[in-house]
């Protein structure tokens, strides 16, 4: 197998080296990862500046870009061959529920899927990141890589994998959970007396719904959520169907008048 490995925690992350070692048991692994931490960068792509790739050792490249850049440049520019699999991780921290849209780890797997390559995003769903915990995550990444190799994945689908701390009780196929949003913005004064804000500072919590990724991880199971790129809410068609006929007409003159 030819496997491309990336992450959003940067090339120095312990999760990346554990993942690389675990997957080398299955074939050739090429690391193409950001040269620094790029967590919560989502699916950002560098379009307005050049990218540099530094070959740090054989089959290991550091890129001054995003996780999505790494997959894109890795496949088109560095590997010059389509890998059999892209694995992103092992992220230091969970990627569960509504948080997936922020995740650079998940976006890298998304990018691979767009390019027609099967992909896994793997995260260690814990607050502490002991070597032993990373090893379990690495083992599960390898197990799932074997499953992808043997069975493939459905079209346009990739797997979001969260491994709990400690030895997992097994795996559960899950759906995306729901985040409980705390409206916490820290507002304070900097040393020069100017106001600054810090977002995302609230305590992270999720609804404990049966069948979700959060529910599985809370109970020490590896959570495997099949994701796809189509964000359409098909269930909403029924309620919104009449909009096309009932949307009120607004005269162009009226709009011009208002914008004056």
State which of residues 3, 6, 8, 112 lies at the interface with Mn ion (CB under 5 A).
Answer: 8
Q: Applying CB under 5 A, does 91 fall inside the site for Mn ion?
A: yes
- Pick between residue 8 and residue 69 the one whose CB is nearest to Mn ion: 8
Select from 33-41, 55-63, 77-85, 206-214 the region that touches Mn ion (CB under 5 A).
Answer: 33-41
Q: How many residues bind Mn ion (CB under 5 A)?
A: 4
For residue 93, the minimal CB distance to Mn ion (Å) is 6
> What's the closest the beta carbon of residue 137 comes to Mn ion, in angstroms?
13
Task: State in angstroms the smallest separation of the CB of 32 from Mn ion.
Answer: 16
Q: DSSP characters for the chain?
A: -EEEEE-SS-TT-HHHHHHHHHHTTTSEEEEEEESS--TT-TT----SS---EEEEETTEEEESS-HHHHHHHIIIIII-S--SEEEEEEEES---GGGGGG-HHHHHHHHHHHTT--EEEEEEESSS--HHHHHHHHHHHHHHHHHHHHH---TTEEEEEEEESSS---EEE-B---EE-----EEEE-TTS-EEEE-S-SPPEE---TTBHHHHHHTTPEEEEEEES----TTHHHHHTTHHHHSPP--HHHHHHHH-
Is the CB of 91 or the CB of 176 nearer to Mn ion?
A: 91
- Examine residue 95 and tell whether it contacts Mn ion (CB under 5 A): no
- Give residues in contact with Mn ion (CB under 5 A): 8-9, 39, 91
């Amino acid at each position: 197998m030819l496997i491309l490995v990336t992450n959003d925690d940067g090339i120095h992350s312990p999760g990346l080296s554990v993942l690389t070692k675990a997957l080398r048991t299955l074939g050739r692994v090429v690391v193409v990862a950001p040269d620094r931490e790029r967590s919560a960068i989502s699916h950002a792509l560098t379009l307005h500046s050049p990218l540099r790739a530094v070959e740090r050792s054989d089959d290991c490249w550091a890129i001054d870009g995003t996780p999505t850049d790494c997959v894109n440049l890795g496949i088109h520019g560095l590997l010059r061959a389509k890998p059999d699999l892209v694995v992103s991780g092992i992220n230091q921290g969970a990627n569960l529920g509504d948080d997936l849209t922020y995740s650079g780890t998940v976006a890298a797997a998304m990018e691979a899927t767009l390019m027609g390559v099967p992909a896994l995003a793997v995260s260690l769903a814990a607050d502490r990141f002991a070597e032993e915990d990373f090893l379990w995550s690495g083992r599960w990444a390898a197990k799932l890589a074997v499953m992808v190799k043997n069975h493939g994945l459905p079209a346009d689908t990739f797997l979001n994998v969260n491994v709990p701390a400690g030895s997992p009780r097994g795996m559960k196929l899950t759906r995306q959970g729901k985040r409980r949003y705390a409206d916490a913005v820290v507002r304070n004064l900097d040393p020069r007396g100017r106001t600054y804000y810090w977002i995302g500072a609230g305590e992270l919590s999720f609804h404990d719904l049966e069948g979700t990724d959060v529910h599985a991880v809370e109970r020490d199971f590896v959570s495997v959520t099949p994701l796809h790129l189509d964000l359409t809410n098909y269930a909403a068609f029924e309620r919104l169907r009449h909009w096309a006929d009932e949307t009120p007409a607004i005269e162009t003159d009226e709009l011009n008048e208002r914008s004056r």
